[in-house]
């Protein structure tokens, strides 16, 4: 009684649906009052992708969402039924996680060896089980694509809305720290509270994305939403003519509202992956659109880790048994990120930089160089360097955002990372 949209005494036919609808929220409230080890996010370490014949290293981050107690004897197990992935490390102890804290296994990743029969663009399911004190608290599933992944564009929400423009009626799009998938921020249509009524608000990416050379491009991002189902909605749209016209994209989690694919109802963080192969050869732009009526409003739409990725196969040499050197200079996102005390930076050097001096340097938010990690000639291929958060003098640096810059010949690439203490 007293829940849902019925009167105090619901009809008999409404009772079980109301019970089912409210069971998990009540369970969740009881769990977080003490300790609750929950899946937070995951990352493929190293290059960030895996192909046939590779070893896939997987980092899982767990959060104790409990408000008061540590989660003890936390055990994470990862399995797969994909026939071409051989488990090497599939169970890792996380020991104790303090209340509201995060812990990952970057130093002891889950490991799966892909045999040479793993087919290009196969989706590998990994089944995650998290337990504390022998009791399973969470089961979840993630997917990894068998392919070489080249990031064309990405925005992890940590740098504000400089790459985006909000417009329309009741436009409240902004970054928020209330909830996020990774890092410390996400984008949301309403920063601190419920979505506004009678909104017709756009959030447009300022940058045009070049897909003229992309072979198998995908748009990927993480999202969550709580939106009045069937009435209010969020949509993702694409334009190939600089915004003159827009097409609404259908994703794995959209359903039809007001005649078009939309995000509506309630959904916790999920990874959305949208095939953009139909737009290969084009220059495209993206925008989100949020629409609400004057009735019930919800928490709104959040998204994080927005990126466009092109999937391809590493070319092989004559005879088909040896990979060719990388074709482009690439600097990958460090892992873990945020980090404390150590992180790993991976990058790849193509053959054309053979004999060229390579530099990998760390800069603070003021642009001052604080550490040089690499300064010399290196062979083509993929390289990894660990950084322990110290400067060239060996002194520990303070928490904050740092830039890491890779320079080879007359080319340079820069990314951001977050050191926390």
What is the per-residue pLDDT for 380?
85
pTM for this entry:
0.74
Question: How many Å is the Cα radius of gyration of the chain?
Answer: 23
CA end-to-end span of the chain: 47
* Residue 142 shares a structural domain with residue 159: no
Could you give the dihedral angle defined by the CA atoms of residues 367, 371, 107 and 63, in that order, rounded to the nearest 10 degrees?
-30
What are the tens digits of pLDDT across the range 171-204? 899 999 999 999 899 999 998 889 999 999 999 9
What is the per-residue pLDDT for 235?
99
* Residue 178 shares a structural domain with residue 282: yes
DSSP 25: H
CA 45 vs. chain centroid, Å, equals 13
- Look up the domain containing 373 and give its range: 330-419
Of the candidates 176, 286, 295, the one whose C-alpha atom is nearest the C-alpha of residue 232 is 295
* Residue 137 shares a structural domain with residue 164: no
Domain-ending residue, one of 119, 146, 173: 146
What is the per-residue pLDDT for 13?
85
CATH at residue 395: 2.60.40.4070
CATH at residue 216: 2.60.120.260
Domain-ending residue, one of 312, 341, 357: 312
* Residue 195 shares a structural domain with residue 255: yes
* Separation CA 6–CA 162 (nearest Å): 45
Which residue ranges in the chain fall short of pLDDT 50? 318-320
* Residue 182 shares a structural domain with residue 241: yes
∠ Cα 166 186 386 (to 5°): 130
DSSP 50: B
* Residue 202 shares a structural domain with residue 238: yes
What is the per-residue pLDDT for 318?
46
Helix (H, G, I), strand (E, B) or coil at 90: coil
What is the per-residue pLDDT for 337?
85
What is the per-residue pLDDT for 3?
64
What is the per-residue pLDDT for 110?
97
What is the per-residue pLDDT for 7?
66
* Separation CA 344–CA 333 (nearest Å): 9
């Amino acid at each position: 009684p007293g829940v849902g949209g019925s009167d105090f005494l619901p009809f008999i036919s409404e009772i079980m649906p109301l019970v089912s609808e409210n069971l998990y929220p009540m369970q969740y409230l009881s769990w977080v009052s003490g300790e609750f080890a929950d899946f937070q996010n995951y990352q493929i370490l190293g290059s960030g992708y895996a192909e046939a014949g590779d070893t896939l290293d997987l980092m899982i981050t767990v959060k104790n969402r409990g408000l008061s107690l540590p989660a003890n004897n936390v055990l994470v197990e990862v399995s797969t039924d994909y026939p071409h992935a051989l488990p090497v490390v599939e169970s890792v102890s996380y020991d104790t996680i303090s209340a509201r804290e995060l812990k990952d296994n970057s130093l002891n990743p889950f490991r799966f060896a892909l045999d040479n029969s793993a087919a290009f663009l196969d989706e590998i399911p990994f089944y995650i089980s998290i337990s504390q004190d022998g009791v399973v608290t969470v089961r979840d599933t993630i997917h990894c694509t068998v392919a070489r992944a080249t990031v064309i564009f990405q925005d992890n929400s940590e740098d504000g809305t400089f790459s985006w423009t909000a417009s329309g009626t009741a436009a409240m799009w902004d970054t928020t720290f209330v909830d996020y998938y990774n890092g410390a921020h996400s984008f949301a249509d309403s920063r601190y509270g419920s979505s506004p009524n009678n909104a017709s608000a756009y959030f447009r990416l300022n940058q045009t994305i070049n897909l003229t050379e992309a072979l198998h491009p995908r748009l990927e991002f993480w999202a969550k939403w709580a939106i009045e189902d069937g009435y209010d909605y969020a949509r993702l749209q694409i334009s190939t003519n600089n915004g003159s016209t827009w097409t609404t994209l259908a994703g794995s989690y959209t359903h039809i509202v007001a005649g078009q694919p939309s995000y509506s109802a309630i959904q916790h963080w999920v990874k959305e992956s949208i095939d953009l192969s139909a737009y290969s050869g084009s220059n495209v732009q993206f925008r989100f659109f949020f629409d609400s009526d004057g009735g019930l409003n919800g928490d709104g739409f959040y998204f994080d880790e927005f990126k466009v990725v092109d999937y391809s196969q590493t070319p092989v040499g004559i005879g088909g048994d040896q990979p060719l050197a990388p074709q482009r200079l690439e600097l990958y996102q460090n892992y873990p990120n945020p980090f404390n005390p150590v992180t790993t930076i991976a990058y790849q050097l193509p053959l054309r930089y053979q004999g060229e001096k390579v530099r990998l340097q760390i800069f603070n938010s003021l642009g001052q160089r604080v550490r040089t990690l690499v300064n010399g000639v290196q062979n083509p291929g993929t390289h990894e360097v660990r950084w322990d958060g110290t400067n060239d003098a060996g002194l520990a640096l303070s928490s904050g955002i740092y830039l890491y810059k890779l320079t080879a010949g007359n080319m340079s690439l820069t990314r951001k990372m977050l050191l926390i203490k």
